[in-house]
Chain A
Amino acid sequence: MSVEFRLPSLGADMEYATLVEWKAAPGDVIKRGDVIAVVETDKGAIDLEIFESGKIEKLLVSPGVRMRVGDALALLEGEPGRLKISPAARARAAALHLVPDAVAGSGPGGAITLDEIERAGRVTAPSAPSAPVAPAAPAAPPLRDLRSVIASAMARSKREIPHYYLSAAVDYAAARAWLDAHNANVDVTLRMLPVVPLLRAVIVAAADVGGFNGHYEDGEFKPGTAVHLGVAIALRGGGLVAPAIVDAQAKSPATLMQALGDLVNRARSGRLRSSELAAGTLTVTSLGDQAVDSVTPIIYPPQVAIIGAGAVGERPWVVDGRIEARPILTLSLAADHRVTDGRAGARFLGRVRDLLQTPEKL
Chain B
Amino acid sequence: MSASALQPAATTYRDAIREALRDALRADPRVFLMGEDVGRYGGSYAVSKGLLEEFGEERIRDTPLSESAFVGAGIGAAIGGLRPIVEIMTCNFSLLALDQIVNNAATLCHMSGGQCPVPVVIRMATGAGRQLAAQHSHSFEGWYAHIPGIRIVAPATLEDARGMLAAALRCPDPVLIFEHVALYNMEGALSDEWPQADIERAKLRRAGRDVALLTYGASLYKCLAAAASLAPLGIEAEVLDLRSLRPLDDAAIFASVRKTRRAVIVDEGWRSGSLSAEISARIMEQCFYDLDAPVGRVCTAEAPIPYPKHLEDAALPQAETVASAVRAMFGK
| Chain A contact residues, CB within 8 Å of chain B | 86-89, 91, 106-108, 111, 113-115, 207, 213, 223-227, 247, 249-250
Is the pair B288, A87 in contact by a Cβ cutoff of 8 Å?
A: yes
Bound-state CA distance A181–B14 (Å) is 56
19 A-B residue pairings within 8 Å (CB atoms): A86-B292, A86-B293, A87-B289, A87-B292, A88-B291, A106-B331, A107-B292, A107-B329, A108-B294, A108-B328, A108-B329, A111-B293, A223-B209, A223-B234, A225-B233, A226-B233, A227-B234, A249-B232, A249-B234
Of chain B, the residue at the smallest CB distance from A91 is B289
Residues on A with C-beta less than 8 A from B310 are: none
Residues on A with C-beta less than 8 A from B210 are: 225
A151 to chain B, nearest CB (A): 32
Extra A-B contacts (5), CB below 8 Å, given A88-B289, A249-B234: A86-B291, A87-B292, A107-B293, A223-B234, A225-B233
Q: Which of A107, A111, A114, A225 is B234 in contact with, Cβ under 8 Å?
A: A225
B252 to chain A, nearest CB (A): 20
Bound-state CA distance A309–B331 (Å) is 33
Is the pair B261, A114 in contact by a Cβ cutoff of 8 Å?
A: yes
Of chain B, the residue at the smallest CB distance from A112 is B292
Q: Which of A113, A207, A224, A227 is B292 in contact with, Cβ under 8 Å?
A: A113
B259 to chain A, nearest CB (A): 12
A94 to chain B, nearest CB (A): 10
Bound-state CA distance A130–B253 (Å) is 36
Residues on B with C-beta less than 8 A from A115 are: 292
Among the interface residues B210, B290, B291, B292, which one has the most CB atoms of the partner chain A within 10 A? B292
Residues on B with C-beta less than 8 A from A107 are: 292-293, 329, 331
Q: A223-B234, A225-B235, A249-B233 are in contact. Are A88 and B290 (CB under 8 A)?
A: yes
Is the pair B233, A88 in contact by a Cβ cutoff of 8 Å?
A: no
Bound-state CA distance A154–B235 (Å) is 30
Is the pair B293, A225 in contact by a Cβ cutoff of 8 Å?
A: no
B185 to chain A, nearest CB (A): 35
Residues on B with C-beta less than 8 A from A106 are: 331
Is the pair B234, A226 in contact by a Cβ cutoff of 8 Å?
A: yes
Q: How many inter-chain residue pairs (CB < 8 Å) link A and B? A: 52
Q: A225-B210, A225-B330 are in contact. Are A89 and B233 (CB under 8 A)?
A: no
Bound-state CA distance A106–B332 (Å) is 10
Bound-state CA distance A249–B231 (Å) is 12
Of chain A, the residue at the smallest CB distance from B209 is A223
Q: A86-B291, A111-B293, A113-B292 are in contact. Are A226 and B232 (CB under 8 A)?
A: no
Is the pair B233, A87 in contact by a Cβ cutoff of 8 Å?
A: no
Please give me the 10 A-B residue pairs with the lowest Cβ-Cβ distance, nearest first: A225-B234, A86-B292, A88-B292, A114-B292, A87-B289, A226-B234, A87-B291, A113-B292, A91-B289, A87-B288
Q: A224-B234, A225-B210, A225-B234 are in contact. Are A87 and B290 (CB under 8 A)?
A: yes
Residues on B with C-beta less than 8 A from A226 are: 233-234, 332
Bound-state CA distance A177–B248 (Å) is 60
Is the pair A207, B234 in contact by a Cβ cutoff of 8 Å?
A: yes
Bound-state CA distance A108–B291 (Å) is 12
Residues on A with C-beta less than 8 A from B234 are: 207, 213, 223-227, 249
A201 to chain B, nearest CB (A): 16
Bound-state CA distance A107–B332 (Å) is 10
Within 8 A of A (CB), among B88-141: none
Bound-state CA distance A89–B292 (Å) is 7
A214 to chain B, nearest CB (A): 9
Bound-state CA distance A148–B291 (Å) is 39
Q: A225-B210, A225-B330 are in contact. Are A113 and B293 (CB under 8 A)?
A: yes
Bound-state CA distance A158–B330 (Å) is 33
Residues on A with C-beta less than 8 A from B261 are: 86, 88, 114
Is the pair B232, A108 in contact by a Cβ cutoff of 8 Å?
A: no
